[in-house]
Amino acid sequence: MGILALSMTAIVYLPGMALGYTLLRSGFLDGIHWHASGDVASVIDYVWGPTQDFITSHLPGWLLLPVGLGIILLSFKLLDRVLPQVTSDRAAGRRLQWLKRPWPMFLLGCLVATLTLSVSVALTVLVPLASRGYVNREESIPYIMGANITTLADTLVAAMLLGNPVAVQIVLAEAIGVSIVSLVYLALFYGFIKRSVISFDDWLVASNTRLWVFVACLFVTPVVLLTSGIWLGPFTS
């Protein structure tokens, strides 16, 4: 599922970045100067904020990580218990048919990432759903695409809090580009995208060497991008 999510993010965000850059260069978003007050908070903050504040104020800092990990594992255990096992007959029922369709799953991914403001949380929800037979890899693809769009909501809020119109315009341009690419993929190329990503997933996990190279690229690529300004600076100045 992790490889699937990263693959889908790459094939959506790379062309989405190109579209976003084109929007910025065109000046289409120059008139947008959104800003927000420091009182902006998510639904999660309102619901769980007091509990989080209580824990952080009564526990030493070194204990927060293992406590957080324990809460996550307990949450998965409880969620796994309340989800009934899906048989083949039940999976074919009308109540679960909407999970088999691309557009409802796309909208569900948008909704979950909007409520949680985290694509990581939105994607981890897929783990118990997949283990119980509610969704498979193919059906999770549009869900991932939807979550990858609305996860930019918290980035947009952060940009608005900075009070920098350029930051807001950059996030908006990326969100618009990613949305356009995702909608085009779903409407016109969903079958091809699904087969290609699943084939790449199967090819990658079939070899430990290829999998290790993939994981290494996840760490090396950000380092290269972050340091590129250092060794490219003399050529661009």
CA dihedral 99, 14, 3, 131 (to 10 degrees): -20
d(CA 56, CA 214): 36
Q: What is the mean pLDDT of residues 75-88?
A: 65
What's the confidence (pLDDT) of residue 92?
47
pTM tops 0.85, yes or no: no
pLDDT for the residue numbered 177: 93
The CA distance from 82 to 92, in Å, is 20
Q: Mean pLDDT across the chain, nearest whole number?
A: 80
Please say if the pLDDT value at position 25 is more than 80.
yes
φ, ψ (nearest 5 deg) of residue 36: -140, 155
- 84 pLDDT band, cuts 50/70/90, is low
Amino acid code (one letter) for 75: S
| Structure confidence at residue 80 (pLDDT) | 66
pLDDT one-digit tens code per residue, 115-124:
776 677 777 7
Give residues with Cβ within 8 angstroms of 188, minimum separation 6.
none
* CB-CB contact of 109 with 142 (8 Å): yes
Residue 179 has pLDDT above 90, yes or no: yes
Q: What is the pLDDT of residue 28?
A: 87
Cβ–Cβ < 8 Å for 181, 15: yes
Q: What is the pLDDT of residues 103-161, one digit of tens each?
A: 888 888 888 888 776 677 777 777 667 766 677 788 888 988 988 888 888 788 778 87
pLDDT greater at residue 89 or residue 49 = 49
- 182 CA to centre of own chain: 13
> Residue 74 and residue 76: Cα distance in Å, rounded?
5
81 pLDDT higher than 50? yes
Tokens 């992790």 -> residue: 2
- Residue 225, Cβ neighbours under 10 Å: how many? 9
The predicted pLDDT at position 235 comes to 46
Instruction: Name the amino acid, one letter, at 69.
Output: L
Nearest Cα neighbor of 160 from 146, 170, 150 is: 170
CA distance 226 to 229: 7
Angle between helices 190-205 and 165-188 (to 10 degrees): 100
What average pLDDT score do residues 37-53 get?
69
Residue 64 has pLDDT above 50, yes or no: yes
Whole-Å CA distances, 156 to 75, 173, 226: 29, 11, 21
d(CA 106, CA 100): 11
